[in-house]
Amino acid sequence: MRPWQELWSFGFSLVVVLGEATGEGLDGMLHGGLSRLGTSRSFVDPSAIPELQTGSLWCHCSHHCPENTVNSSCRTNGQCFTIVEEDEAGGVTITSGCVQKEGSDFQCRDTRMSRIRRAIVCCSNTNMCNLALSPTLPPLPPVKTGLGLENMQNVAILLCISFCMLALLLLFAFLYYRYRRQESRCVYTMDPEQHETFIPASETLKDLFDQCQSSGSGSGLPLLVQRTIAKQIQMVRQIGKGRYGEVWMGRWRGEKVAVKVFFTTEEASWFRETEIYQTVLMRHDNILGFIAADIKGTGSWTQLYLITDYHENGSLYDYLKATTLDPRSALRLVCSAASGLCHLHTEIHGTQGKPAIAHRDLKSKNVLVKRNGTCCIADLGLAVKFNRSVFFNFF
């Protein structure tokens, strides 16, 4: 080989090595490399280099062709190539040209790039063989249809909210179940110190005996019960409300009782009704059973209690609206109500007699229905006693 040919071959090898070292790779060797080779080498007359004529290859050239290109063709001792690529705007560009033998195997193997879609095909079987090449772009990357990070966060938030709501519902259901269970069991719990049979450790038998002797005169209700019964009653639920106060269903010693709580402004009415109920020989099957009366207060507020028997059927007014009566049941109600009213009006003479009492507010809402289908008269807040001495003195 002649010296100038060896020099040209060494220069071309140096260009290939520099192109690979600078990272240009395929883009530099195929696009820019041809231009640089064209500036250093003349392609006007292929016969000017006789040694390259043997084994050289003519290729079709388009875009980035060497200078002095004739009929869109170039000559190489390597391979012909055709490359198709897509730019950032979505346009497709097809480029053809020559690639030298040194490094052609590496350059014809394109590497996948994340930003640009392109494909390259090389050939060296015949002249202008790259005219028949038709490379196709690689398929588009698959669209991510799975859950992304943001969607995963939204799903996690929804799951947390759903779990919290479910936990709250279960908690409310559990509390409601416990409430209904306690209400159905009707267990009355009381502090032992509040029970009237509890004996404090500080008291002696003599103190208890003196207290029993001075607790009452033997007639009427013991004062001990009146002082302590308000603390022993457990209020359960409100069952009514009137002009004098509220009516509650409570528990005392494990039994249901009705507690009429008077407003503090109605103390006179509470005192009058308590006095009527405590009348001697007042108790009757058709008169509401009286248990006790008490005053409960803490210093800042006061409650006036009137404790009586509890009848779950309620008043005669409500009972008649919800129940259809047969003649026998209606007659039982009428006779029992008349019997109770007769007992109120009757004056009983004796050592401790009972005066005649006028109800003065008798109506279906003040008559209660007992479980056995009979009536009992209640609400004696407006009742008055007949005083014989005052009556005869008046006339």
Q: pLDDT of 227-252, one tens digit each?
A: 568 888 999 999 998 888 999 999 99
pLDDT at 170: 94
Residue owning tokens 């409601």: 176
CB neighbourhood size of 320 (10 A): 14
| Mean pLDDT rounded to a whole number for the chain | 77
Eight-class DSSP state of 20: H
For residue 277, give the nearest of 315, 221, 235 by alpha carbon.
221
Residue 369's pLDDT band (cuts 50, 70, 90) = very high
Can you tell me the mean pLDDT for 124-148? Answer: 79
Eight-class DSSP state of 142: P
Residue 110 known to be catalytic: no
pLDDT of residue 75 exceeding 70: yes
Q: Does domain 223-394 have CATH number 3.30.200.20?
A: yes
The rounded distance, in Å, linking the Cα atoms of 274 and 293 is 7
260 among annotated binding-site residues: yes
Q: Which CA distances in Å does 44 have to 73, 129, 196? A: 11, 21, 131
pLDDT of residue 395 exceeding 50: no
The two tokens of residue 96 are 């053809």
Residue 207's pLDDT band (cuts 50, 70, 90) = low
- Among candidate residues 105, 207, 210, 361, the one labeled active-site is 361
Residue owning tokens 């800042």: 300
Q: Does domain 3-132 have CATH number 3.90.1150.10?
A: no
What predicted TM-score, i.e. pTM, was given to this entire model? 0.44
Largest CA distance in the chain: 168
Identify the H or E element spanning 327: helix 327-345
Q: In a 10 Å sphere around its CB, with 0-12 CB exposed, 13-18 middle and 19+ buried, how is residue 182 labelled?
A: exposed
Identify the H or E element spanning 333: helix 327-345
The rounded distance, in Å, linking the Cα atoms of 343 and 299 is 40
Which residue did the predictor score with more confidence, 222 or 90?
90
Domains of the chain, residue spans: 3-132, 223-394
Residues in the chain, overall count = 395
Q: Select the highest-mean-pLDDT range: 43-52, 111-120, 372-381.
A: 372-381
